[in-house]
Amino acid sequence: MESSRKPRLLDQVRDRCRVKHYSIPTEKRYVDWIRRFILFHNKRHPSDMAGSEVEAFLTHLAVVGKVAPSTQNQALAAILFLYRDVLGIELPWLDGVTRAKKQPRLPVVMTHEEVLQVLAQLDGVHHLVASLLYGGGLRLMEAIRLRVKDVDFDRLEVTVRSGKGGKDRRTMLPRMLVEPLRAQFERVRVFHAQDIQNGLAPVYLPYALERKYLNAGHELAWQYLFPSSKPAIDPRSGVKRRHHLNEKGFQRAIKAAVRRAMINKPASSHTMRHSFATRLIEKGYDIRTVQELLGHKDVRTTQIYTHVLNRGGSGVISPLD
């Protein structure tokens, strides 16, 4: 006789994340924060707690844990998801939380010459992805989730699907990357032919596209532009398929390249995007154009790069100079 027991709470969280099409990293972060919230309150069930317990946990993170504001907000988002979407409980307004103090910080930016030095330390697909980050202002996950169909050689455009905030946008395709990307297309074609011959499951498709377009996952246009070198088991469906390039391996490659280039800055893959924006503003492009290319919702987010160049309100020349 099959058990009619209700799924465990964290399994319910995972199921709800998948219903709402959240990414696997987001699902893992939410589960981790909810687990920490429960352990903080000595394993009490969240349905037996309310706003005061949530406030106590978030305040502990800020006061004792001294976490960054973004970290505290991430924990709050996970807990709100638990109550609203999993338990169906509406929490009262959380006005008793001690907020983590947000300090104004300027992004780490490399000069054009420094970026070229780092790129010179990379090769193969890592060099190509890093060049796209700097050449088109893409976020790392936006780049490695690109599909073959998202690159338009005739219009020299890259279409970013479901970027931050779920928005689509277009950015430029650098001319110098056209031929390397055409060669990458051919590598994808070879991988795709091998996967079909080996009977692998089709590539992952977002939302309900897999059911709506039954054969799309087997089409070349839907394959990842930067596929992983080896197929792996999909953690959700359990089928063996080829996923995209591993982001952690790429991040390690960037860190190593920065060290080899002897760039004395805490640069990362995201620094390429910051450097893209700064370079465009440095060359005199309109900030609204830069905002559109970056996909920023608010132009104030883009304006931070004017401060990096000292072209904001503080961009004055010293009397001594």
Write down the catalytic residue from 145, 242, 243, 273: 273
Q: At what angle do helices 269-282 and 299-308 cross, to 10 degrees?
A: 80
Show the tokens assigned to 258. Answer: 């920065």
Query: Has 164 been annotated as catalytic?
Result: yes
Phi/psi at 244 (nearest 5 deg)?
A: -85, 175
Write down the catalytic residue from 164, 170, 240, 241: 164
Query: Has 283 been annotated as catalytic?
Result: no
Size of the chain, expressed as the number of residues it contains: 321
> How far apart are the C-alpha atoms of 134 and 276, rounded to whole Å?
5
Show the tokens assigned to 181. Answer: 């990307």
Contacts of residue 181, defined as CB under 8 A and 6 or more positions apart, other chains included, come to 128, 151, 153, 173, 225
Query: Has 270 been annotated as catalytic?
Result: yes
Is-contact 10 31, C-beta < 8 A?
Answer: yes
Q: In what order do the strands lie in the sheet with 169-172?
A: 151-152, 157-160, 169-172
Query: Has 241 been annotated as catalytic?
Result: no
Write down the catalytic residue from 14, 126, 139, 242: 139
Query: Has 41 been annotated as catalytic?
Result: no
> How far apart are the C-alpha atoms of 81 and 87, rounded to whole Å?
9
Write down the catalytic residue from 170, 270, 307, 311: 270
Is-contact 91 54, C-beta < 8 A?
Answer: yes
Q: Which residues are annotated as catalytic?
A: 139, 164, 270, 273, 296, 305
